[in-house]
A and B are shown apart, each in its own frame.
Chain A
């Protein structure tokens, strides 16, 4: 069982890294890249447990460690 977790900055939170990448894209000719926001993609291999349990656990992992919920949002899917 695999959990795919996406962690992204909340809307409106400044993203210095994204800003730098956008700037670099622009400087190598991609004028159409207007804004870049960078997040994290995390894959977790889970023991085979019932899906509702897995969802509960992954949510906890996100809240406690994977996402900084002060400035980041997260979502996940369990496959």
Chain B
């Protein structure tokens, strides 16, 4: 195999450009053999090297007093006091999930879990952000079913609750669904582990499942546009084994209690290759590995296959010299393989041997850190101006607003996701305080009074219409959701899903969206502590809407002061924080009722946003606010409707009088940002108004809770039950279940 001649075709089939191959030749001073070429190919793939995105990722704010670990490790860590760190990260598994939805989604969950427990943390919650095409298409229903079952299958078997997330449906995802999985874990801050191969002579230990021919070239596949022939690429999909992962988790956490471990890294995309190279690169060392000792599932595996395999549930660990046997013993107790496969060396080279021969000899640093970096051309798309043009005069105001509201509640993007989250175990570990279905999930941090709020958000239609504003809104909305649950927004992980970066228009979207994210993260003081980039989300030249998904974690000092989105008691006063503007561009209303994805997305004033969030959070912390729900897709009317029925088994109506100074459809269904609907009891009204005024947040009393109907001016008059029926049946009905 090492004798295969490296022709132009072989280089191209490894996804390396002519220039990139030239750089390989320069680094090596000779031609690589096939194993070495394979290693270059995965290490320099977009997925591992961030070669197109790095120039923009540098703009993210990444530090704050509470940030312990920013980007660059397996996951970021923030400090929440009492010696406790919160580790979290979000990662994409889009392409594998499109090819085999169950296994693709399952291994996506498995992969992000390993990223978290590699850091020494115990995972305590999962979230996921999912995007599909229209449910009217059988293929999309199949994909949704498979993805949800895969997430449930893996997460439930691991005994980790899936507590929240989001699901969007839009035709732009029909050839490229998005599966972004996020995990949150807890760690003692003096027990954080990193991916470091330091200490010359230290043993390199392979732990976990055996290596098979799974997912070979997965990392390269994940970075190549789908064409008609992608059916052929199918057998490379990995199969997840959550039971083994559970053993791996417990074994790792046990070994972390000792002082045997120097560094550890998950074998994720590009498996043994990326884990060994990245660990050696961070420590400035080299590694000598003997592949004969790698546990293998199949006979006759070549060095190429072993180095590139993406078999799941494996870790690479560097131990203190002399502790090898004790480590092996611990893993053996958990029924897992643990084998010394190499040693740390001092010459900065990766030397890989098999059958007594050196099959690869590569300098670590130039390969791991020297990936080509691109400042790719950027160009505002020619269609953008036309896309942003929306003449409100051509949009007819509806005759029957009740009908519009029911149609919006029936839109799968807005409708209840209960059919999805009821398949997830969201209460295992008994820490979940606010279950899925409210604005952000809240879990308790056992042994303390603290709680964590968490959410994922991104309205990609806004990003398509104006990526800068869309990027800002993704962060602002995530923070708003955290605040509505009673949390103080702390930090962000992002999953940047875009099309082909070689197209200047896509790179422009990327540039603008990341600038927007950076701006909002700085203003709201929520640094980015990690994440992932997924490019080439295109099928036959058509890209998805730019989708920079934001995962955010917030802190509740006292978990008793959490809040849910639904109305509580008869007679409570309903207050709108924020302002209604005449904005219907990019709204779900415009899409569902007028079949248009056009206009400018709602504007975002970060000062106003902060004021609204601050007043809401203070009101919750002081125990004044009884419910808080932000206005997002579907606008104020949908938000108010949801407040009436999202509590399971508890319906309650409301009477609303809104000042009408803008178009009625914009008033009801426009998606102006920085708005939160809160309720307080009559006796607390003045005190809360005082807080809002102090924070400079616009505050308007708009109605009262009570009755069995929702009425808004003389525009909306509907029984709560009827609205709930439309909202709760929308997805099951389309799935035929």
Chain A residues near B (Cβ < 8 Å): 10, 12-16, 19-20, 23, 68-71
Contact = CB atoms under 8 A, between A and B. Distances in A.
B213 interface: yes
B239 A13 contact: yes
A21 B27 CA distance: 49
Contacts of B234: 69-70
Interface string B126-159: 0000000000000000000000000000000000
A6 B471 CA distance: 50
Interface string B374-402: 00000000000000000000000000000
A13 B215 CA distance: 10
Contact of B244 (A10, A16, A70): A16
B235 A10 contact: yes
Contact of A68 (B100, B244, B312): B100
Contacts of B214: 12-14
B238 interface: yes
Contacts, number: 40
A12 B298 contact: yes
A17 B212 CA distance: 16
A15 B244 CA distance: 12
A68 to B, nearest CB: 7
B237 interface: yes
Contact of B212 (A12, A68, A69, A70): A12
B532 interface: no
B297 interface: yes
Given A12-B213, A70-B100, A71-B103, A19 B241 contact: yes
B243 A20 contact: yes
A16 B99 contact: no
B311 interface: yes
A23 B234 CA distance: 29
A19 B99 CA distance: 24
A54 to B, nearest CB: 25
B344 to A, nearest CB: 30
Interface in B673-717: none
Contacts of A14: 209, 212, 214, 238-239, 241, 297, 311-312
B298 A16 contact: no
28 contacts: A12-B214, A12-B297, A12-B298, A13-B214, A13-B235, A13-B239, A14-B209, A14-B214, A14-B238, A14-B239, A14-B241, A14-B297, A14-B311, A16-B241, A16-B243, A16-B244, A19-B241, A68-B100, A69-B234, A70-B100, A70-B103, A70-B234, A70-B235, A70-B237, A71-B100, A71-B103, A71-B237, A71-B239
Interface of B: 99-100, 103, 209, 212-214, 234-235, 237-239, 241, 243-244, 297-298, 311-312, 335
Chain A binding surface SS class? loop
A14 B211 CA distance: 10
Contacts of A10: 235
Contacts of B239: 13-16, 71
Nearest to A13: B239
Chain B binding surface SS class? loop
A19 B337 CA distance: 14
Contacts of B237: 70-71
A22 to B, nearest CB: 12
Contacts of A71: 100, 103, 235, 237, 239
Given A15-B239, A16-B244, A70-B237, 8 more contacts: A12-B212, A12-B297, A14-B212, A20-B243, A68-B100, A70-B100, A70-B103, A71-B237
B109 to A, nearest CB: 15
A70 B212 CA distance: 17
B265 to A, nearest CB: 21
Contacts of B335: 23
B98 to A, nearest CB: 11
A12 B238 CA distance: 10
Contacts of B241: 14, 16, 19
Contacts of B297: 12, 14
A20 B244 CA distance: 10
Contacts of A12: 212-214, 235, 297-298
Nearest to B210: A14
Given A12-B212, A20-B243, A70 B99 contact: yes
Nearest to B301: A12
Nearest to A10: B235
A12 B234 CA distance: 13
A16 B234 CA distance: 19
Nearest to B99: A70
Contacts of A13: 214, 235, 239
A1 B99 CA distance: 35
A67 B26 CA distance: 48
Nearest to A12: B213
A16 B243 CA distance: 8
Nearest to B100: A70
A53 B212 CA distance: 39
Contacts of A20: 243
A28 B666 CA distance: 70
A23 B100 CA distance: 27
